[in-house]
Chain A
Amino acid sequence: MTYLGFFNVVNVPCIQVTAILRVNEYTQEFQGFSVKSYDSNQLPSNNPIEDTRAEARCLLTQGLLLGIFDGHAGGSCAQVLSKRLFKYVAASLLHPEVVHKYSQAPTDLIQSFNDNYELAKILEELYSSSFKQFLTDLAKQTSEVDANKALERAFLRIDQDMSQEAEPTVAGPASQATLTVAAAGAVACVSYIAGAHLHVASTGDCQAVLGSVTENNRWTATKLTEEHNSDNAAEVARILAEHPPNEQDTVIKMDRLLGQLAPLRAFGDFRFKWSRDRLRRLLVPKLGDQALPPNYYTPPYLTAKPQVTHHRLTPKDKFLVIASDGLWDLISPLQAVRLVGEHMSGKVTLNPFRLPKSEMKLKEVNQLLLQRKEGLKMKPLDTNAATHLIRNALGGTEYGVDHGKLSQLLMLPDDMVRVFRDDITVTVVYFDSEFLQKCPA
């Protein structure tokens, strides 16, 4: 870790490192359900953190919702989403008749876990009236939709509502706040698990990875999401096709949408969705001329439409890792799956060994391998798998977790930290194999 060497950072004691890593730990267990438990954790880089997370149980359908929201241009959009999106999803999942009954006598749609903060009162009222309207619209539907469609509908509707709520005529006194939300953005990955059915909806570059054991007791990683960024050729092609040929060189520039936005799908970010007129009217007064992106000819350039996948869980599927790109910048899906898989059996995982330099003598190689052998005997420090992932992602080496490297990365000054690591949010969902064994098709 020589590249960190020029910072004068104190090597903090192990116990303190652990304390820092565990601040945001959360674990929830379940009974009689395809999900046995989940471990979740967050490590901020931005101050305040721009990632948010939400987990909730649907009360009118038997399902669990778990989501991670990675905000940008401030955390407001991600915060609002984590507060509101699951209600939209839970309602979308209902049969229209049930929606109708429910809107007559509303009860709680969802039971949230680990929900630590509240919205301002005026926003609360505004959002609840939007939601009521959504319920009214849902009740008009003629037929039930499947979970994949429901997720997509909820994603699109809440984005649409956030757009509406930015209008001063709609928001009234709350408009300062709603305009802030509209100027911010967030990507999201939400999974809905009901029985053996796993649905994952993703907008942006969070990722969900399924960890399964093979017949040969090895771990395999299955990515259930595609990242919507410029590395994704299909996504780039989709956007180019939506705009006239003369914009081909400007729509995606320097790997970013209109040269500015890294994710190619997102909530909020109405600077890339509204018409020029509307931007001039609502956001330019607030943000100045730079509110209008360059080469802004044929909006919208951005959508909140998610890519949704369905997977039928089998007893071989052991867990799901959902995480923001802060984690995936550091480790691969397979590494994450191996780390969690070995963690389940109380074992540590070392990074694959490579010769650290050329011109190595064989006794040196032997020394290193002996060191690894010792490292492999260690037990993981953390019981929370999300913490285990974060610790290894930041401090993992070929011989075990390097405390020095880890403490340096954790103790970086606020103005430098974002260069070396992003906000990290991880949720690991464990499946109940026995439940899945008996689960009807």
Chain B
Amino acid sequence: MSAAAGTVRIFGAIRKRSPLIHQQIRLINQSQVELNLSDDSLPSKARVVICGGGVQGAAVAYELAKLGLGNETVLLEQGRLGGGSTWHSTGLVTHLRNTYTETRLARDSVALYKELDSQGLKTGWRQCGSLSVARTKDRMTMFRRIKARAQAWKIPCEVFTVNEVAAKCPIILTSDVLGGLWVPGDGVGDPYEICVSLISAARKKGVKIIESCSIYKVMEDKGKVSAVETSKGNIQCDVFVNCGGLWARKVGKLSQTPVKVPLHPCEHYCLHTKPIPGLDPNTPVVKDEDGQIYLRENEGKLLIGGFELIAKPAFEDGKVPDNFSHQSLIPDWDHFHVLLEQMLHRIPKLSDIVIERLCNGPEAFSPDGKWLLGEAPEVQNYFVAAGANTMGLSAAGGLAKATAGLILGRGGGLPADSYELELSRFLGLHNNRRYLRDRVKEVPGMHFKLPYPFQEFTTGRNLRMSPIYPRLRQAGAVFGQVMGYERPSYFDTSIDSEAARSADSPDYEEHYGLRPFRIATTNTFGKPPWFDIVESEYTACRETVGISDYSSFTKMDLWSKGSQVVDFLQKVCSNDVDIPIGGIIHTGMQNEKGGYENDCSFARLAENRYMMLAPTIQQTRCKTWMQRHMPSDGSVAVSDVTSMYTAICVMGPHAIPLLSELADVDLNPSFFPFFTFKELDVGLASGIRAMNLTHTGELGCVLYIPNEFALHVYSGLVEFGKKYGLQHCGYYAMRALRIEKFYAFWGQDLDTSTTPLECGRSFRVKFDKKANFIGKDALLKQREEGIKRMYVQLILQDHDSEVDLWPWGGEPILKDGRYVGATTTTGYGFTLGRQVCLGFVENRDEKGNTGLVTNDFVLSGDYQVDIAGVRYEAKVNLNSPVLPTKYTPIDPERLRYQATRPHIK
């Protein structure tokens, strides 16, 4: 162990190390920081208590201090500052993330470090740029797609030729490289120095820092944070921020109502070399994603890390020792070897370089690889900023600024569309320890995997399944997962179930004759392998009848004794929910800014009882939103009934005749109109709710079937459906249908920043209803002033779906050659025979200022959509199109229905 003992310099700070044995893990270094930034006594009161003295907690403290809360903020650290993953993190800061939200937060992070730098505080920040290299054509496509997006986001970025790559970074091997991506604004920082600088700056503004202070319990009063019990006494507070990093999940469990913070540590390896003579101090960050490795220069040495495809979870019992501070784990060299081989390949010179050490520092990963942000659904005024998935420095500043904004209630929430990072995206299953442990094996590897469309995880599968799942699988279903639910993406019957079954399959269901479990894959940026299948499913929905499993949809029951539930819904919904019993109303739930917190449908079951149907990913989120706005007297009850019903959508021209036969009742439109529901007897079962809407624009309805009847009803549908040409359809076909019909979906097209006026849905906002609803003022103001962006449908004109790269969302939209927005969702329109892109259009001038967007503005001008650097001509639509059909519509009213209509002023 002599090589590991002694004093080591990491990013300039001197730390002493000594061998230490802890449990069965031998920790190679225990560092001591020669700093004293701690205050002695714990105040008895504060407005905000931050838990965690890593770079994340420090950044939140700093942002709060900047906003004037310095004297009312206390930061508690169980050990010493920066002891979790802050001290060993490599400090890469990269802008261009997969989503705009994360990109913007990363931009805020860089701004923060520059701000510290300008105050003369130490940050280690160096804008050395980052250079990604491609080994494959698809990687180059990814670079071009990123570049297209970056241009729209105004982040400088260039696609490099091999020669340019070699010139920018001569130490790397380029013989197998096809090109590169150069992001000059990226850089590196020293997480530890930044942490210390943020803490000292925050202290100057009054923030109290208490080290060696463990949290025992976070107390609540009426569902809100009220105090924190610590090893140094109790402290009353209004707000608690969990920046616990590796310990954040554990801290989550310490509140009276446990807060789910789904994180699990994984081993993360970083190789430190000895000084390399002649190493250019301006060596950029290099990412060889096809080889899963990255490197940066640090004081004449190289730090090289990687994201192996199968990572090793750390602390598998779920317990991260409290005293695991400034420590690393014993490295598993055999595990690291795959990365080392890639490093030696990419940097030939490395062979003769002497190793200083291999650091195995645990990092916390979330089940979807995304950061954790926002208010806990379980406890009010309890915020979390954690789970940076090794991107600590890219995330810290942005997450801190967003959290500070939330705490101060600035503008009623997070900056725009942060829903994908918010805690409300999780269910209980996501916090299951074994689920996390299994899942995080593949999360680190996702960082550098090619981001093909519809990425799927392979762990944590077959978790939530509808009762008809085995039958769907037998029918050839190939699955995608949403909120833990297995949802058929498409049905592939071409594979012989016997042949595909592997002899040593762990899947015992196969031994009962089920087809093997298959996960949907796309693995291309061009025409997907499932194209023909989805076309056939699409056609069934348009011309005969298709059935699709909608069981994952969020379903809630709401009721009250008197009319309180109606009053409540009138307050939270922008449409008028006071509809006749038996009716269905589609409405948004707006926030104060008028944005969509939720987009859902209500079926009025009785005078004072509704059933709510909402997108799958709203399950935690919408319930929390409603509960926070409910009358405090408990007069309105809400119950999550998602798991009680199986939902089967039956759609297509033959849907109603099929159902009529199966239910033995005439379901013609005059008896069963659009936007109503009926309780039916289907087959021999009863109490099946048929909702006359399909969420795709096709004729038909969704059957909400109590779970015990699901197989019976399904069997009946399949049997009776044969003569109607019934076909199983998956999610991809639904998506193709609704995109072509210009139907917006929450979480894909709409988010918390989109207002109904912007997305062609002002017809669903009832300004004149008696009740005042949340967001009304903002929407009225917007109606007065006009909108600054508009949801449009773009039909690509000169795109060849066979050979050209496809749009998959996020592509820049150009109007008269100028960037005006980006696509949200895209798909092939099988009836139109063209690619269809949905997205938002703004009116930006040269300086990037946005002006009003009118119908005339949108309709005048030539549109293009940029797919990986190639611009395709596009025709713009403001209305849902009326698609031709060869069938005489049995429901003409329905055929005319347009989900998206331009706002008429």
Residues of A within 8 A of B (CB): 214-216, 218, 334, 352-355, 357-363, 365-366, 369-370, 372-373, 376
CB pair A362–B273 under 8 Å, yes or no, is: yes
Find out whether the CB atom of A353 lies under 8 angstroms from the CB atom of B340.
Answer: no
Residues in B with CB closer than 8 Å to A353 are 333-334
19 A-B interface contacts by CB (under 8 A): A216-B316, A218-B316, A352-B330, A353-B333, A353-B334, A355-B3, A360-B355, A361-B352, A361-B355, A362-B273, A362-B350, A362-B353, A363-B352, A365-B340, A366-B337, A366-B351, A369-B337, A372-B333, A373-B334
B632 contacts A by Cβ under 8 Å? no
Q: Within 8 Å of chain A (Cβ to Cβ): is B344?
A: yes
For B434, the closest partner residue in chain A by CB is: A215
Q: Which residues 570-605 of B sit at the A interface, judged by CB distance below 8 A? A: none
The 4 closest A-B pairs by CB, nearest first: A363-B351, A353-B333, A358-B3, A369-B337
Q: Which residues from 336 to 356 on chain B have a C-beta closer than 8 Å to any C-beta of chain A?
A: 337, 340-341, 343-344, 350-355
Task: Give the residues in chain A near B332, CB-CB below 8 Å.
Answer: 352
Q: How far is the CB of A365 from chain B (nearest CB, A)?
A: 6
A366-B344 in contact (CB<8A): yes
CB closest chain-B residue, reference A360: B355
Residues of B at under 8 Å CB distance from A? 1-3, 24, 271, 273-274, 316, 330, 332-334, 337, 340-341, 343-344, 350-355, 434, 437
In the complex, how many angstroms separate the beta carbon of A371 from the nearest chain B beta carbon? 11
- Compute how far the CA of A77 lies from the CA of B330 in the bound complex, rounded to whole angstroms: 44
Identify which of B2, B24, B340, B355 contacts A334 (C-beta below 8 A).
Answer: B24
B contact residues around A361 at 8 Å (CB): 351-355
> Residue of A at shortest CB range from B28?
A354
The secondary-structure label for the interface of chain B is: helix
* Contact between B344 and A357, CB atoms less than 8 A apart: no
Inter-chain contact A363/B337, CB cutoff 8 Å: no
Partner among B3, B333, B434 whose Cβ is within 8 Å of the Cβ of A369: B333
**Complex Cα gap A341–B888 (Å):** 70
Rounded to whole angstroms, the CA-CA distance of A362 and B24 in the bound complex is: 28
| Chain A CB within 10 A, most for which of B273, B337, B341, B353 | B337
> Are A357 and B3 in contact, with the CB atoms below 8 A?
yes
**In the bound complex, what is the Cα–Cα distance between A82 and B68 (angstroms)?**
79
Question: Knowing A216-B316, A355-B3 touch, does A362 contact B334 (C-beta < 8 A)?
Answer: no
When A216-B437, A362-B273, A366-B344 are in contact, do A355 and B355 touch as well, CB less than 8 Å? yes
Minimum Cβ distance to chain A for residue B651 (Å): 43
Residues of B close to A362: CB separation below 8 A: 271, 273, 340, 343-344, 350-355
Chain A residues near B2 (CB-CB < 8 A):
358
Q: Provide the residues of chain B in CB contact with A366, threshold 8 Å.
A: 337, 340-341, 344, 351
Q: Which residues of the other chain, B, contact A359 by a CB distance below 8 angstroms? A: 274, 354
Q: Which of A214, A334, A352, A373 counts the most chain B CB atoms within 10 A? A: A352
Complex CA–CA separation, A215 to B354 (angstroms): 40
Task: Tell me, in angstroms, the Cα distance from A107 to B854 when the chains sit together.
Answer: 105
Given contacts A361-B352, A363-B344, A366-B337, list 14 more A-B pairs with CB under 8 A.
A215-B434, A216-B437, A218-B316, A355-B3, A361-B351, A361-B353, A362-B352, A362-B354, A362-B355, A365-B340, A366-B344, A369-B334, A370-B337, A372-B333
Min C-beta distance of B530 to chain A, whole Å: 34
CB distance from A322 to the nearest CB of B (A): 21
CA of A370 to CA of B338 in the docked complex: distance in angstroms? 10
Residue in A369, A372, A376 whose Cβ sees the most chain B Cβ within 10 Å? A369
- The answer for the CA separation of A360 and B351 in the assembled complex, in Å, is 10
Q: Nearest chain A CB to B897's CB is how many angstroms away?
A: 52
Q: Please, which residues of chain A bring their CB within 8 A of the CB of B434?
A: 215
Q: What is the chain B residue whose CB lies nearest that of A218? A: B316
Chain A residues positioned under 8 Å from B353 (CB to CB) = 361-362
A348 to chain B, nearest CB (A): 13
- Smallest distance from the beta carbon of B332 to chain A beta carbons, Å? 8
A366 to B341, CA, bound (A): 7
When chains A and B are docked, how far (Å) is the Cα of A365 from the Cα of B331? Answer: 13
- Expressed in whole angstroms, the Cα–Cα distance for A365 and B340 within the complex equals 9
Query: In whole angstroms, how far apart are the Cα atoms of A214 and B274 in the complex?
Result: 39
Give CA–CA (A223, B353) in the complex, Å. 43
Of B2, B332, B333, most buried by chain A (CB within 10 Å of CB) is B333
Cα A373 to Cα B336 in complex, Å, equals: 12
CB distance from A320 to the nearest CB of B (A): 19
Residue of B nearest to A354 (CB): B1
By a CB distance below 8 angstroms, the chain B residues around A373 are 334, 337
Q: Nearest B residue to A356 by beta-carbon distance?
A: B3
Minimum C-beta distance from A156 to chain B (A): 35
A218: B residues at CB distance < 8 A: 316
In the complex, what distance in Å separates the CA atom of A354 from the CA atom of B334? 11
Which residue in A214, A360, A369, A372 is a CB contact (below 8 Å) of B354? A360
**Interchain CB contact (< 8 A) of B340 among A352, A354, A360, A369:** A369
Set of chain B residues within 8 Å of A355, measured between Cβ atoms: 3, 355
Measured between C-beta atoms, what is the minimum distance from B21 to chain A in Å? 11
- Closest CB in chain A relative to B328 CB, distance in Å: 14
Inter-chain contact B334/A376, CB cutoff 8 Å: yes
Q: Which B-chain residue is minimally distant from A398 (CB atoms)?
A: B333
Q: Give every chain A residue within 8 A of B343 (Cβ-Cβ).
A: 362
Quote the shortest CB–CB distance from B6 to chain A (angstroms). 10
B341 and chain A: residue at smallest CB distance: A366
Q: Which residue of A lies closest to B438 (CB)?
A: A216
The docked-state distance in angstroms from the alpha carbon of A360 to that of B2 is 13
Chain B nearest CB, measured from A116 CB (Å):
39
Query: Could you tell me the distance between the alpha carbons of A14 and B143 in the complex, rounded to whole angstroms?
Result: 57
Q: Which residue of A lies closest to B316 (CB)?
A: A216
Complexed CA–CA distance, A370 and B340 (Å)? 11
Chain B residues lying within 8 Å of A363, measured Cβ to Cβ, are 344, 351-352
B336: nearest chain-A partner, CB-CB = A369
Nearest Cβ distance between residue B626 and chain A, in whole angstroms? 38
Minimum CB–CB distance from A358 to chain B (whole Å) comes to 4
Give the contacting residue for B355; candidates A215, A365, A372, A376; CB below 8 A: A365
**Which residues of the other chain, B, contact A216 by a CB distance below 8 angstroms?**
316, 437
Name the CB-closest residue of A to B358. Answer: A355
Chain A residues, CB < 8 A from B354: 359-362
